[in-house]
Structure 1
Amino acid sequence: MSFDTNDVTRRDVMRTAAAGGAIGLAGCMGGNGGNGEDVNPADLEVPPSDLEDNVNVWNWYDGWVDWAVEEFESEYDTSVSTAAYSNPSEWYTQLEAGNEEIDSISATSAWVVRSMNNDFLHPLPAEQMEGWEALNDLARSDAEEYYSADGNIYAIPETIVAHPLTYSTDYFDEDPGSWDVLWESDLEGMVSMQDWGEVACRVAAMYTGQDPNDPDDFDELEEVLIQQKDLNNTYWQDHSTVLQMFENDEIVAAVYTDGRTYDGRFNQGIPLGMSNTQEGFMYTYDTFVIPQGAPNPRAAVAWTDFGSKPANAAQKAPTMGYVAPIDSLEEELSDQLSEEELEFLQWPQTMSDNAMFIEPLSDELREQFDQIWTNVKAA
């Protein structure tokens, strides 16, 4: 999935033909009498009893959602309505206006923090949930640091998402292991940076040895990005375009995501690898959250509990190529995936020394990144 930020778009992630209709449908399907505001999800037992008739879910892991809805509805006497969205601002705007429709959201880290800061989320009965206990140490530690307040947990990680250097294994005999690849003059026209100021500036920070969460030399970031500009085949905007360029041998390296790399390699047969860059690479989470005003809070807790259970969370890999941050992932998937696929999915363990969490951007830093990128593209 795409880089985590308050400006993220994922237009090519959710391609359900009924996306617009689903959003409208979710808005029409409230709970039993609209009593959601009287129930605090954190006070419920898990699994809760007396579930509402339906639950309205906004989750952009469409392949997993298709699988999960069928499983959930067979386990609970509750129907699931799903909605697609292309930008988190769509659901966030609803929360700002006073949510009365959405029960559960797949929310990226920056939007979780922003929503928490504005009291838009319910605390969760996390400690009662098997999925919380199943999180690996890294995910639980990050959640406790970034998604908690006043002793409450407001989000449970459902996937860990890396933003690595993806490379062609046909071109490179071994992992290039450095962001230097994107600046190599010999690869002019064969690399691609994402057309996004935050991504480009964070990569430039790692390339120059700065902290990508808190760089201290913005002039240097702009300078090296201008140097890199003409080496690109293009600044990419659409995820599917990247796979097409790799498949057509137009590029040999790009900033991408682990899940898209997995999909290209194992589902589409494109020879791709995920680099363990020595300067580091960034990761974030998509999470389960329950917004204030959820009309079906009991069903929302049941959905969160169901989706975060190890056996169910693990299905993000075979359905979407993304990793649930749980210790038992290999055990859960050993009878579904090949050894090569399982080995790829172990990147949170094998590459942990170089992984850096994408901390939420301050408004000042976001504006600085945007200005740098504007200057680079105009140069």
Structure 2
Amino acid sequence: MKGYGCIRSIVLAVSLALASGLVQADTIRVLNWQGYGTDEDWSLEKFEKATGNTVEHEYFNSEQEMLTKLRTNPGTYDVVLINSAYTRQAAEEGLIQPLDLADYPHSDGLQPRLAHNPNLEYDGKLYGVAWLWGVTSFAINTGAFDEKPNSIMELWNPEHAGRLGWRDDAVESCQFAALATGQDINDPSDYDVIRERLHALKPQIRTFWNSENEWNQYMSSGEFDLATYWSGSAARSKQNFGLPIEFVVPREGAIAWLDGLSLPTDVPHPEAAKQFIDWMIDPEFYVQWDTEVGAPISANEQAVAQLPDGAFNKQLIAQLKEVENLPFMGPMSDETREKMLEVWQETKTFYQE
């Protein structure tokens, strides 16, 4: 596998340097979602052996919590995972610093459209190393379908009344309705139409879900015919739990997202942090992670190319190439978020009537 010889060379060089006292081993602190790649024990052990550096983690449960931690704990974190819809805000607030891809050798494999995605840039500078991407759409219980649907309107199909799982999230809900009504997912123009489309889901919804674990439990117990879901989670549900599901990318499009790894402005250990980010975008790490655990799509084309034939993400990419409308989640104004929250809260009240 490409990169193996390189890793062996790094291990030998660093081991000799540590033995001679030429390299200062650091402990870096990573801010991320729990269980999202950077905290895989087997990888951290390899990283420590290769570089001498150890890794600790602190977790957040929402993007707003992540931003708050960066604001209130300067000089604490070395690497932070940021959804690209929030990268510009973090840069504007001075919470993260500009990056040079030349500092990350494995960045040469990044897809150009992801490496230089506008959402990762601010004021002409790059603030995040593209790491993972995927789509939010829906998955079906194959036992409930004779053939795989190809339209987002399947969510409103009365044949599945009372059998739809829906994530309780205001932005995501409004974005699904925007896709279904041909609107901009990041700035819908007609919220009355959004509200009407969401209200029409009332007879469809079985229950709301909030976590991957909840989703798996509902699907495994046969309560869902179909449910909104994330592509990376669908890979794990199918691979690790053997759930009879298929992920659907409808012809109307899906909600694309991109996660990047950034350096906080007051990063305590910049060189070790850069080494860790480069480790995360290394194809060798990604292939093992995706094969053994299940992961979103790597932004590194070389990593995806090394996946086994028939791998979930290879099949997903083939689906995505056939879809013209694949808008990425982007920055939103506070007014837009507040409006989406208002619409969703009113909709949930309507569901209870």
What TM-score bracket applies, with the shorter chain setting the length? 0.7 to 0.9
User: Does the Cα contact within 8 Å between 2:119 and 2:331 map onto a contact in 1?
Assistant: no
1:212 maps to 2:191: no
Change beyond 3 A, Cα 1:329–1:84: same
Change beyond 3 A, Cα 1:150–1:204: closer
CA RMSD of aligned residues (A): 2.1
CA distance in 2, matches of 1:87, 1:213: 18
Report the 3-state secondary structure (helix = DSSP H, G, I; strand = E; otherwise coil) of the residue aligned with 1:164.
Answer: strand
Report the 3-state secondary structure (helix = DSSP H, G, I; strand = E; otherwise coil) of the residue aligned with 2:208.
Answer: coil
User: Does the Cα contact within 8 Å between 2:249 and 2:319 map onto a contact in 1?
Assistant: no
User: Does the Cα contact within 8 Å between 1:98 and 1:293 map onto a contact in 2?
Assistant: no
Q: Residue deviations 1:110-133, cap 9 Å, x none?
A: 332211111111212213423322
* Corresponding residue to 2:71 among 96, 111, 119: 96
* Corresponding residue to 1:328 among 302, 308, 311: 302
* Corresponding residue to 1:362 among 330, 333, 336: 333
Partner of 2:29: 56
CA distance in 2, matches of 1:373, 1:176: 26
Q: Quick one: percent identity of the two aligned structures?
A: 24
Report the 3-state secondary structure (helix = DSSP H, G, I; strand = E; otherwise coil) of the residue aligned with 1:265.
Answer: helix
Report the 3-state secondary structure (helix = DSSP H, G, I; strand = E; otherwise coil) of the residue aligned with 1:94.
Answer: helix
* Corresponding residue to 1:71 among 34, 43, 46: 46
Q: CA deviation at 1:181?
A: 1.3
Is the strand fraction higher in 1 or 2?
2
Unmatched tracts of structure 2, length 5 or more: 1-21
Partner of 2:269: 296
User: Does the Cα contact within 8 Å between 2:187 and 2:332 map onto a contact in 1?
Assistant: no
Report the 3-state secondary structure (helix = DSSP H, G, I; strand = E; otherwise coil) of the residue aligned with 2:195.
Answer: helix
Report the 3-state secondary structure (helix = DSSP H, G, I; strand = E; otherwise coil) of the residue aligned with 1:233.
Answer: strand
Partner of 1:80: 55
Question: Bigger shift: 306-315 or 261-270?
Answer: 306-315
Partner of 1:148: 121
Task: Give the letter for the 1:242 counterpart.
Answer: W
Change beyond 3 A, Cα 1:323–1:140: same
CA distance in 2, matches of 1:371, 1:198: 10
CA distance in 2, matches of 1:50, 1:256: 45
User: Does the Cα contact within 8 Å between 1:130 and 1:308 map onto a contact in 2?
Assistant: no
Q: Residue deviations 1:188-230, cap 9 Å, x none?
A: 1111221111111111111122222221111111112112122
CA distance in 2, matches of 1:166, 1:377: 22
Q: How many residues align?
A: 326
Task: Give the letter for the 2:98 counterpart.
Answer: P
**Alignment map for 1:100-119 (pairs within 5 Å):** 100-119=75-94
Change beyond 3 A, Cα 1:204–1:315: same
* Corresponding residue to 1:233 among 206, 219, 225: 206
Runs of 4+ in 1 over 6 A off after TM superposition: none
Question: Bigger shift: 293-302 or 79-88?
Answer: 79-88
CA distance in 2, matches of 1:354, 1:174: 23
Q: Residue deviations 1:266-310, cap 9 Å, x none?
A: 111111111121111011112111101111111111111222223
Change beyond 3 A, Cα 1:222–1:368: same
TM-score (norm 2): 0.85
